[in-house]
Amino acid sequence: MAQATQDRIGWIGLGEMGYGMAKNLHSFLASHGSHLTVWNRSPGKTDAIKEQGARVATSIEDLASTSNVIFTSLANDAAVENVYEQLVRLASKVQEQIIFIDTSTIHPTTATKISQLVAAYPQHRYLQCPVFGRPDRAHAGQLVWVASGDAATIEKLQPYFGSMSKNTIDLKTTDVSKASSFKLMGNFFVVGTIELLAEGFALAEKVDIDKSAMLHFIESFFPAPSWIGYSQKIASGSTEKTGGFPVTLGLKDVGHMKKLAADHGATLPTADVAYRNLERMKAQGKGDQDWSSIIEVLREGPDAQNTPTSKTMTSQQQQADRIGWIGLGLLGFEMTQHLQKYLHTHKLPNLTVWNRTATKAVNFCTVAAPEVHVVHLIEDLFVSAADGSRVKANVIFTSLTNDAAVEKVYETLIRYAAIAQERTTFVDTGTLYPELSRRLQKELADLPQHHIYLQCPVFGRPEDARAAHLLWVASGDTNAVDRLRPYFEIMTSKVLDLKATDVTAASTLKLLGNFILMSNTSILAESVNIARKSNLDPQHLISWVDAFLPVPLLMGYSRRFVGGVEDEVGVNMTVGIATKDIKCLRRWAKTSGAPTPVVDAVYENFAIGNEKGYNGKWDFLLDNITVAVPVIEDIHRAIGTAVEEHKDKDVFIYFYASIDPATGKSWCPDCVTAGPVVDEYFSKIDNAVLIDAPVGDRPKWKDPNHFLRHDSVVKITAVPTLVHWSTKSQLVENDCEDLAKLDKFVKRA
């Protein structure tokens, strides 16, 4: 086959499935005088295929630079996104066509996202080709492939697919999400079969029916490979052996099925049951066993925690819920989109939102979710009658930046909660000082309606929120947590219910989680510096982290610090926020009497960066990176003076947008983000509304004074060396559109 000698084939990912497929593909190529190039995060897994003649690449970049057809077989969505961000970045510089084929089981939205990344470079192609079959079928070349993407490309690659499979199902569509959806539906049949077989065999054991008789029955009446194969595993007791399809990946797949169904208004009760049983297996430390091992928990009997009770939300309860959301920051903006989509799909009342920065709320309802209702005041979100007889939102989520913002918002909420005639549940997703969360819980519970407060901080980056892959930590009233779980799950891949009515449990865990991230990042930075000064190639550190600390965030920072890859896996947590969090943990630990030597050391590192005004990624931890120092004192002084002089007016603080989203570079090299400084002053002003600049439309804003003038408006533009305020005397003619936005979306004090 001439094509096999012309193409340069690469393979990334040598797990149980990946190795079997790669081995067969390499044999096919070798028979035509060619070879396969492979790369795996853990180098040890490349030894076997190297002995068969495959070339082992030293890095993803090495593989990408020598391949024009690249297959990937990866464990989960995060790994796929991480690898393809690197591949596409490298491919963007190549004019020769590169074909990417992903065989992983991922959520349809992830497949679409990767396809869009590749589509930005029209010379390249992306196919989504998940596979059906167990690892033993992969080794035997007996998998079933499902293909979606460019038809001509699929046809061209059929010989390669054929070397690894017994059949290819071509969906005849360029929409790559369809193959991912098809794979999830197929796996739903598989996990449903496993659940059915496990329940049947567990019952057979209870009533003393011989397993061999059950197996004979299945072989006679259900002669399908999956039925027979899983029946044999269950009957023989071989489910405990590793090497099959592990419980952890089963949870990932079933979680994707549940989300896919929820997004389209469908229900999968069988998947719900299987998911609970898989969770029980993982909780028992058996996450590496084959997913057919759920028979073990079925032998134990029902799990009281997972047995459906009156706590589970019914459709009638959902219809009664009217949900409000306060705070549209990086995470809040993404979470609310998932929540609104769920409400809209299930024909439930639409979301009501409020955000301190009016334009963010405008953008949200204009661009992301037009059905959402935007209110101008917090009280308009909560009650619609002076006596509290009409409650607009009886479930209110808050996603705010810091404790000061939370205190200010909840001061208003508690004032109106005191007169509300309906019990309301408040869910805060922020990172709070534990004592503050306890105080809010008590103040709301002490009101006549005994309102409920849940502390549910989230772990993850904005891109995780966008993909609904956040980790939620829940504490508070356990009935309320269970009842609201469907809302939580639509925004996240995992809900960690602490089963604790004391809300400080979740606040403390969030601070500890952030501390672990910050301390490990500090250790990585110090290690990179030591390596450089000891003439050790820092790339060896990357290999070590990949092998022994395979955590996406740590892997990303190791690459970022070394400088070999401009990895964007950062947490999007500013130095200021990180310093605030570690300071909270330090204070909480000292209150509890716990020694904190490492916390103290990490705090000192971040406090130095914060004091110097560095507010970007955490690269400042490397001692060879220059830290920009803004004139913070000038901003403090000028804003304070302007506000003091105009107490009688509605003060609109406007922070000049200094970053071009198209290039990621500053409009002005001297500008650095002074947002936290503005926020600090703004939080102390009662009659103030913050208006953001429309990011990305730079030409229109050449004149700093060209923004929202009004009789009683003071505009403060903050950059390191300039704070400017203007009044009506500086009006220009063409502000009608902006003034209309102001009048429509901002109620002046």
365 is catalytic: no
User: What is d(CA 9, CA 28) in angstroms, rounded to the nearest whole number?
Assistant: 11
Burial of 617 (0-12, 13-18, 19+ CB in 10 A): middle
Contact status, residue 123 vs residue 99, Cβ threshold 8 Å:
no
Helix axes 504-533 and 575-592, enclosed angle (nearest 10): 120
CA 488, CA 503: separation in Å to the nearest integer?
Answer: 17
Q: 575-592 and 597-611 helices cross at what angle (nearest 10)? A: 150
Secondary structure of residue 632 in the 3-state scheme: helix
Amino acid at 74: L
Q: What is the dihedral of CA 126, 132, 135, 140, to 10 degrees?
A: -90
**Biggest alpha carbon distance in the chain?**
93
Residue type (1 letter), 156 = K
Q: What is the DSSP letter of 243?
A: S
406 within 8 A of 435, measured Cβ to Cβ: no
- Amino acid 175 reads D
Beta-bridge mates of residue 168: 145
Residue whose structure tokens are 């630990």:
589
Q: Give Rg (Cα) of the chain.
A: 28
Cα angle for residues 67, 68, 71 (degrees, 5° grid): 80
Residue 571 CB: number of other CB atoms within 10 A?
Answer: 21
Instruction: Please work out, in degrees rounded to the nearest 5, the angle formed at the alpha carbon of residue 188 by the alpha carbons of 185 and 193.
Output: 140
- Return d(Cα 713, Cα 199) in angstroms, integer: 69
- Separation of alpha carbons 342 and 350, rounded Å: 9
260-267 long-range contacts, CB within 8 A, separation 24+: 260/107, 260/108, 260/181, 260/184, 262/342, 262/345, 262/486, 262/489, 262/490, 263/341, 263/342, 263/345, 264/345, 265/345, 265/346
Beta-bridge mates of residue 472: 458, 495
Residue 131: how many CB atoms within 10 A of its CB?
22
- CB neighbourhood size of 608 (10 A): 15
Active site residue: 365, 584, 671, 736, which one?
A: 671
Beta partners for residue 132, in sequence order: 144
Is position 456 annotated as part of the catalytic site? no
- Set 129, 365, 668, 736: catalytic member: 668
For 705, the token pair is: 């004074």
> Around Cβ 134, how many Cβ atoms within 10 Å?
23
* Dihedrals phi, psi of 170, to nearest 5 degrees: -90, 115
* DSSP state string for 285-349: T-TTSBGGGGHHHHHH---TTTS--TTSPPHHHHHH--EEEE--SHHHHHHHHHHHHHHHHTTPP
For residue 117, CA distances in Å to 114, 256, 491 come to 5, 21, 23
Nearest to 145 by CA among 176, 167, 178, 160: 167
Contact 333, 325 (CB under 8 A): no
DSSP label of 274: H
CA-CA distance, 642 to 646, in Å (whole number)? 6
| Of 473, 479, 481, 561, nearest in space to 512 by CA | 473
Name 462's Cβ contacts closer than 8 Å, sequence gap at least 6: 330, 331, 333, 334, 572
> Catalytic residue numbers?
668, 671
